[in-house]
Chains A and B, each alone.
Chain A
Amino acid sequence: MKSMMIILLSAMLTDNFVLSKFMGICPFLGVSKKLDSASGMGIAVTFVMICATAVTYPIHHGLLVPNGLEYFDTVVFILVIALFVQLVETALKKTIPSLYKSLGVYLPLITTNCAVLGVTVLNIDNGYSFIQSLVNALGAGLGFMLALVIFSGVRRKLEYADIPETFKGVPATLIAASIVSVSFMGFSGLFN
């Protein structure tokens, strides 16, 4: 149980995918303008991460390893991720059209979100068990959501800040992102 908590919290905080590993920067910058779309994106990514892990783990260990096809990981994993992104997309379109609209192009872009592929690959690389992998995916997803939600708050403040003309827009956003990232460095050393 203790090791599960450590995996969960380290995936969320110390090894935050966005702020420490710098994966998934595109949606991090693209969807963090509003709190509701940020949390919606976080939930969607978490869902895709967990589902993708739940499927890729048995595929890797049951199908690819026995046939000596470990090199095939990336291709099959991307296929699985794309499948779940499509599922989320069609489901969202039906159930929450407003969220579907506000996520826009970033929803299909989860497919190529390296954070998702990163989770599935790292689960294999770290030699996690099935349960551990799921916990890691959950932690990574929650960490992604946490980063997006925190950053949406930062960006709201940024809207009202008096920024020099040259820095307005993307440059100021990137600087703010780096400061948030530095603050997450404070978590390192939390677990041994």
Chain B
Amino acid sequence: MTYLIPVIILGVCGLLAAVLLTVAAKVFYVEVDERVEKISSSLPQANCGACGFAGCADYADAIVNNGAPTNLCRPGGADAAGKIAEILGTAAAEVVPMTAVVHCNGNCEATQTAFEFDGVQSCKAVKRFYGGNGLCKYGCIGLGDCAAVCERDAIVIRNGLAVVLPELCGACGQCAEACPNKLISIRPKTSKVDVLCSSGANGKQTKLSCKNGCIGCKICEKKCPVGAITVNDNHASIDYTKCTGCGACADACPAKAIHKN
């Protein structure tokens, strides 16, 4: 009996609560567009926020109620866009598969650390300590803040440098957020050319700190037939909406800072 009474009391309390809640759920029932739930369940449920909404459910809500574009889900890609279009009964919007790229090639052979950092082993912490422990203050710190936030294990630290594995990358952009040097950007998977340096220092300083750095010589600007590459802030950057992937810039680059994939 001593054991039975607590069980009975708790059971009755729980039952009463359940009944009350059921009644409340009926009284306060909010009609939800069934398409919202269907779309929400067809999304990858990564809740990564790459679409610009607060999560998969929020995005689904925005599609149905505010007419948000159906091709914003990066991890879901064409699959998700197709399913959403099917639910909404519209034509599937085109989806360009994207991937993240680390714009730095400062591996262990190319550059060194300026000092040993004994604090918390995270890029953010190192960055706050005299701007980082690398010779180059703009490059990859290599402690893997980006790899830590990646839910698909698509980033590995190889030879002191973060490397994105495009076949695993969902292009959610969380690594780009996490990188204190803002080295990671999202570009179309099909693009052939990448500038692998983000140094803001002048050519001489860059060369002194890293063998693979962009010296900002602007040869690529002149060689590009479509004007897709520009040198800003002492390093080249590519406008992927114009780039045709011809690779003229990569061939011409004297510092070998531009790579063809």
**A and B associate:** yes
User: A residues within 8 Å of B by Cβ?
Assistant: 59, 63-64, 67, 69, 72, 75-76, 79-80, 82-83, 86-87, 90-91, 93-95, 97, 165-166
Instruction: Find out whether the CB atom of A64 lies under 8 angstroms from the CB atom of B9.
Output: yes
B10 at interface by CB-CB < 8 Å: yes
Instruction: Give the contacting residue for A94; candidates B6, B17, B29; CB below 8 A.
Output: B29
Are A76 and B21 also in contact (CB < 8 A) when A90-B28, A91-B28, A166-B128 are? no
Nearest chain B CB to A70 CB, angstrom units: 11
Which of B111-129 touch A at CB < 8 Å? Answer: 128
Nearest chain B CB to A84 CB, angstrom units: 9
What residues of B have a CB within 8 angstroms of the CB of A91 in the complex? 24, 28
By DSSP majority rule, is chain B's interface helix, strand, loop, or mixed? helix
Which of B4-61 touch A at CB < 8 Å? Answer: 5-6, 9-10, 13-14, 17, 20-21, 24-25, 28-30
Q: Give the complex CA separation of A67 and B14 in angstroms.
A: 18
Instruction: Find out whether the CB atom of A83 lies under 8 angstroms from the CB atom of B128.
Output: no
Q: Give the complex CA separation of A90 and B25 in angstroms.
A: 7
Instruction: Find out whether the CB atom of A79 lies under 8 angstroms from the CB atom of B6.
Output: no
A-B CB pair tally, cutoff 8 Å: 46
Instruction: Give the contacting residue for B9; candidates A63, A82, A166; CB below 8 A.
Output: A63
Instruction: Give the contacting residue for A79; candidates B17, B24, B25, B29; CB below 8 A.
Output: B17
What residues of A have a CB within 8 angstroms of the CB of B10 in the complex? 72, 75-76, 79
Q: Give the complex CA separation of A87 and B14 in angstroms.
A: 14
Q: Which 8 A-B pairs have the closest CB atoms?
A: A94-B28, A83-B17, A90-B28, A90-B24, A67-B5, A87-B24, A94-B30, A91-B28
What residues of A have a CB within 8 angstroms of the CB of B6 in the complex? 67, 69, 72
B: number of interface residues (CB 8 Å): 15
Instruction: Find out whether the CB atom of B9 lies under 8 angstroms from the CB atom of A86.
Output: no
What residues of B have a CB within 8 angstroms of the CB of A64 in the complex? 9
What residues of B have a CB within 8 angstroms of the CB of A94 in the complex? 28-30
Of the A-B pairs whose beta carbons lie under 8 Å apart in the complex, a sample of 17, sorted by A's number, is: A67-B9, A79-B10, A79-B13, A80-B13, A83-B17, A87-B21, A90-B28, A91-B24, A91-B28, A93-B28, A93-B30, A94-B28, A94-B29, A94-B30, A95-B28, A165-B128, A166-B128
Q: Give the complex CA separation of A86 and B17 in angstroms.
A: 10
Instruction: Find out whether the CB atom of A76 lies under 8 angstroms from the CB atom of B20.
Output: no
Instruction: Find out whether the CB atom of A86 lies under 8 angstroms from the CB atom of B24.
Output: yes
Nearest chain B CB to A11 CB, angstrom units: 26
What residues of B have a CB within 8 angstroms of the CB of A76 in the complex? 9-10, 13
Q: Give the complex CA separation of A75 and B7 in angstroms.
A: 11
Seed contacts A83-B17, A87-B21; 7 additional CB < 8 Å A-B pairs: A69-B6, A72-B6, A76-B9, A76-B13, A79-B10, A79-B14, A165-B128
Instruction: Find out whether the CB atom of B24 lies under 8 angstroms from the CB atom of A69.
Output: no
What residues of B have a CB within 8 angstroms of the CB of A83 in the complex? 17, 20-21
Nearest chain B CB to A81 CB, angstrom units: 10
Nearest chain B CB to A65 CB, angstrom units: 12
Q: Give the complex CA separation of A82 and B16 in angstroms.
A: 13
What residues of A have a CB within 8 angstroms of the CB of B9 in the complex? 63-64, 67, 69, 72, 76
Which residue of A has the minimal Cβ distance to B29?
A94
Interface centre among A72, A79, A83 (most CB of B within 10 A): A83
Nearest chain A CB to B87 CB, angstrom units: 23
What residues of A have a CB within 8 angstroms of the CB of B128 in the complex? 165-166
What residues of A have a CB within 8 angstroms of the CB of B14 in the complex? 79
What residues of B have a CB within 8 angstroms of the CB of A87 in the complex? 20-21, 24
Which residue of B has the minimal Cβ distance to A88?
B24
B146-177, CB under 8 A of A: which get 1 and which 0? 00000000000000000000000000000000
Nearest chain A CB to B201 CB, angstrom units: 21
What residues of A have a CB within 8 angstroms of the CB of B13 in the complex? 59, 76, 79-80
B197-221, CB under 8 A of A: which get 1 and which 0? 0000000000000000000000000
Nearest chain A CB to B12 CB, angstrom units: 9
